[in-house]
Structure 1
């Protein structure tokens, strides 16, 4: 999960994150029966550890969580003691354009989301293999994998779910969508959560060409999908509030340069975590849709835009 903003990558106020939802494997404390894998992916430029708060929340609710850092898309990755920086192929300059769905930016997004989705499916397969031996043997239900991601990672989560028969559902946190899934739709359950200035749920008041493109893309995705979809907006949140950046302390001058909204960062992560857990519980265990379908959320700041079908 995680990374810079859905509207514009790596820019103050509207940073963007790229594909990377990682499946998480779910396991009940005490080992009572197999649990579904869950995979969480970071956003463009970000690394998996920057989503620790959401990952820990899922783990505390009985999930085995695996995070994926996209090498060559992340600003910095360390592999076997060697550092790897982002490359043009992994973090295209076209994502600096004013409209992320125009020209080369659209082409690069469609290409890269396929790479991230393939990485996600590979990670999910590695999680499934844990069921055969070791401490998780007999406790991994690979037939119920959930892909979760922030920003571009959210786009990758949706595309990975579309192409993985084991996928039980996918969640996209504030990420504008790319890839074939936009036009083919998703036949599995889908959760979309947007920041207060975002159009990625298909509901907003667009103020720029980029907003209009993101709005049209989200509406195409929702229109083509055959699975149930839940869409929410978290008022006061901006792009980085869906990552650990929301919980970090930043001096005022620095904070003003980041995509952080007026919402309390801990509150944003708590609310996001509650909806992610409710979604995962529903699609993997048949849990109640009480929170998901409540038209009047118990959490202040949540605008319920769409529930179920």
Structure 2
């Protein structure tokens, strides 16, 4: 290992205002988005290269992107700007103000934690203004990290302690991930494979924890 000196440029100041945070988010967001675009570029190159073992084997006409937290915001950004993204999903990722300028033109699903408050405002605005099919699902009893595997790796006592600051919610860890995975699969099956499971038609009695809203362009 090695020691790396931390500089002020590498952190957000403690007294940072909303404008400073937005600027940092825009800077970091571009790096993450460029990474996604780089991956798609490389896959396209492999697919087109006659010497590649993957030549003409990759289906790049049905690419979907999703992510949690900043990864979800990145998925939204890339799907707004790169036509190779055909559908996307954001798992409780706050969209910063710079992202409100572009309209979604591909199917997109937002999944949010309960009582996300102002953090969800830009997500709601983007959902309502979408030019394509869009979904906004709120998972009751969930907090930000219920959309990850963190709660599964915590002991019962640790889960209780993590609930105090609102990092994870009251929903059972496996239940939260089951709901998340089921809706993600149904969404991408419908918009990338053309398989309609019926789950996105409205509120499901199988998942009463989900507050379901849709904005259909068709």
TM range (shorter): 0.7 to 0.9
What is residue 260 of structure 1 aligned with on the other side? 168
State the Cα distance separating 1:185 from its structure 2 match: 1.3
Post-superposition CA distance 1:78-112 (Å, at most 9, x none): xxx8898998666x425x6798xx22112211222
- Does the 8 A contact of 1:111 with 1:179 survive in 2? no
Residues 137 and 297 of structure 1: CA distance in aligned 2, closer, same or farther (over 3 Å): farther
Gapped runs of 5+ residues in structure 1?
Answer: 1-80, 199-205
Aligned to 2:77: 159
Match of 1:273 in 2: 181
Structure 1 counterpart of 2:12: 93
Q: Find the counterpart in structure 1 of residue 88 from structure 2.
A: 170
Conserved in 2, the CA contact under 8 Å of 1:191 and 1:231? yes
2:63–2:85 contact (8 Å) kept in structure 1: yes
* Whole-Å separation in 1 of the counterparts to 2:7 and 2:133: 37
Q: Deviations over 1:113-136 (max 9, x none)?
A: 1221111111222333443533x5
In 2, are the aligned partners of 1:176 and 1:218 still within 8 Å (CA)? yes
Farther-moved stretch of structure 1 (157-166 vs 245-254): 245-254
Taking the TM superposition and a 5 Å limit, the aligned residue runs for 1:66-215 are: 92-93=11-12, 102-131=18-47, 133-134=52-53, 136-178=54-96, 180-198=98-116, 206=117, 211=118, 214-215=119-120
Cα separation, 1, equivalents of 2:216 and 2:42: 31
Change (3 A) 1:187 1:129: same
Superposed CA RMSD in Å reads 2.9
1:37-76 CA-to-partner distances (Å, cap 9, x unmatched) read: xxxxxxxxxxxxxxxxxxxxxxxxxxxxxxxxxxxxxxxx
* Gaps in structure 2 of 5+ consecutive residues: none
Higher helix share: 2
Q: Which secondary structure state, in structure 2, belongs to the residue aligned with residue 169 of structure 1?
A: strand
Alpha-carbon deviations, 1:128-162, whole Å to 9, x = none?
A: 3443533x554321122111111111111110111
TM-score (norm 2): 0.83
Question: In the TM superposition, what whole-angstrom CA distance separates every residue of 1:198-217 from its partner, at most 9, and x where no partner exists?
Answer: 1xxxxxxx4xxxx2xx3442
Instruction: Return the structure number with greater relative CO, CA threshold 8 A, min gap 6.
Output: 1
Q: Report the counterpart of residue 202 of structure 2 in structure 1.
A: 294
Q: 2:185 and 2:7 mapped to 1: Cα distance?
A: 34
When the two structures are superposed, what TM-score results if normalisation uses the length of structure 1?
Answer: 0.60
